[in-house]
Amino acid sequence: MKKNLLKTKAWKKLTDHYKHFKKIEMRDLFDADPKRADKYTLKLDNLMFDYSKNRFNDHTLKLLFRLARDCGLEEKIKAMFRGDKINFTENRSVLHIALRNRSNKPIYADGKDVMPAINAVLAKMRQFAEDVRLGKFKGHTGKKLTSIVNIGIGGSDLGPVMATEALRKYWAKDMNCYFISNIDGTACAEVLNKVNPETTLFIVSSKTFTTIETLTNARTCRKWLVDALGEPAVAKHFIAISTNQKEVEKFGINPENMFEFWDFVGGRYSMWSAIGMSIAIVAGPDNFEKMLDGAFAMDKHFATSDFEHNIPVIMALLGIWYNNFFGVKRYAVIPYDQYLQYFPAYLQQLDMESNGKSVDREGNFINYSTGPVLFGGAGTNVQHSFFQLIHQGTDFVPCDFIIPAISHNEIGDHHEILVANVLAQGEALMRGKTEKEAAAELAKAGKSKDEVKALKRYKSFSGNRPSNTFVVKKVDPYTLGELVAMYEHKVFVQGVIWNINSYDQMGVELGKQLALNILPELSGNATGIRHDCSTSKLIEAIKKMRK
């Protein structure tokens, strides 16, 4: 790949194409081609991807596919699946795809097939999850463990939180699942107020077993347990997802109850590993593995489909089109399913931690836009929060709508209304409403000419605002796996085209380092550390308030 993306032929052609295409209306594209939706819809299993409501034509796509090929995307995909060290800043392979490699074909990292180790941990997870669910692995007083508390942060929290909520319908009837991630003591206190020490299992998820937020929360939970049941209870109520056996044992956890994962699995991709233990326990190991099956299906689709029929590739390229040519640096993900309420929050980390970069693979500062801002929430709730901006704001916001055809809870006409809403939103964003149409509606409603004139502009919608619609049959474990893997690969493709490393996250380090300097000052054990005047003043103000 050329060092300067902006000088590639495809980029220059896309720039010229944008100048001629930027004012084209989607209404006109649909009027000109009654079969546009058929042409721009793809299916995989029970997932349908309609991308027809986007601002492009055949020539746009042709140039975008050319850009992907000019950037060496095909070879980069092969390199990831081969186990090449594409995370070059940390000298690591990127093999979350191996965690759900249901074909069991060898995948190599550092010349070693990783599948035997992955399968061994998966088998150990299955056995442990079944033992907890069946009451074979009991608490210190012999009672069944029915409250699962996952202690982690970042990828060790967001993935399990999202997936367990998405699969809540599959939970064991006698179990509950809780999550502690925030270092704010309130997060810890609120969970501990809800659970019984005799029936609670804590999962401490930290690769190094040194993460300050996770270990602080874990020690608080440990003290709470020991105060209630005594020191020996720790081994029966705590397990670890880690690689640091020494620290795990020091904490009091039986090393037999330590579950390993690997450096080739980044935190935001770790849900597929033992980090998913909470999912396997509350939703069952069968459903956890069905989630792996769905992800594997998307992996195969991504690795083997030509770009023109490749769902993650097309998603990524449309994002490039808006981000880098229209200058739209944000997008929204809106699942119309209550069980997917944490899906946008999960994707925020996946996308923004992966591609929020400003230095390219050659070490040059980048002079083009990379990772967008992602936000979202569950429809229809968010229709009454940020949809005003999406429909009538000064800039358009590309949207991904996700809707299941079948609800897990068919109550009255709830789901029909929900489906009607999501389909209407996509249509409204695309079509809009002209001033003439608004005026006609107002007149029909009995408004006077003066009222029509005064209100018609406020009632009009510019339209021509893009969206993708994903229809799934049902939000089940398999489908959830497909959806998550789909976005993972989309993010990867965009990172390739932007020529960045999507797999490190060094931007989170500086604040943590500075926090360690400030901590002793707040406790009164250190003075004389140099800060800017604002930070120093804030430290002093907080200390005075405490007095």
DSSP per-residue codes, 117-176: HHHHHHHHHHHHHHHHHHTSSB-TTS-B--EEEEE--THHHHHHHHHHHHTGGGS-TT-E
85/90 Cα distance (integer angstroms): 9
pLDDT digits (tens, 9 = 90+) for 361-402: 999 999 999 999 999 999 999 999 999 999 999 999 999 999
pLDDT score recorded for residue 527: 66
User: Would you state the CATH architecture of domain 5-70+305-431+468-500?
Assistant: 3-Layer(aba) Sandwich (3.40)
State the pLDDT confidence band at 1, using cuts at 50, 70 and 90. very low
Cis peptide before 146 (omega within 30 of 0): no
Catalytic residues, which ones?
353, 384, 512
**3-class secondary structure, 503:** coil
State the pLDDT confidence band at 528, using cuts at 50, 70 and 90. low
Q: Do the domains at 5-70+305-431+468-500 and 109-289 have one common CATH topology?
A: yes
Question: What's the mean per-residue pLDDT of the chain?
Answer: 96
pLDDT digits (tens, 9 = 90+) for 30-43: 999 999 999 999 99
Which amino acid is residue 191, in one-letter code? V
**3-class secondary structure, 470:** strand
pLDDT digits (tens, 9 = 90+) for 489-525: 999 999 999 999 999 999 988 888 888 889 888 887 6
pLDDT digits (tens, 9 = 90+) for 297-318: 999 999 999 999 999 999 999 9
For the domain made up of 109-289, give the CATH fold.
Rossmann fold (3.40.50)
Q: How far apart are the first and last CA of the chain?
A: 60
Burial class of residue 24 (count of CB atoms within 10 Å of its CB; 0-12, 13-18, 19+): middle
Average pLDDT over residues 316-329: 98
Taking residue 460's Cβ as centre, other Cβ atoms within 10 Å add up to 18
Q: How far is CA 185 from CA 189, 190, 221, 227, 267, in A?
A: 6, 9, 11, 18, 23
**Which H helix or E strand runs over 241?**
strand 238-241
The answer to whether 331 touches 246, Cβ cutoff 8 Å, is no
Residue 526 has pLDDT above 90, yes or no: no
The answer to whether 16 touches 76, Cβ cutoff 8 Å, is no
pLDDT score recorded for residue 87: 96
| Residue boundaries of the structural domains of the chain | 5-70+305-431+468-500, 109-289, 432-464, 509-546
Taking residue 543's Cβ as centre, other Cβ atoms within 10 Å add up to 13
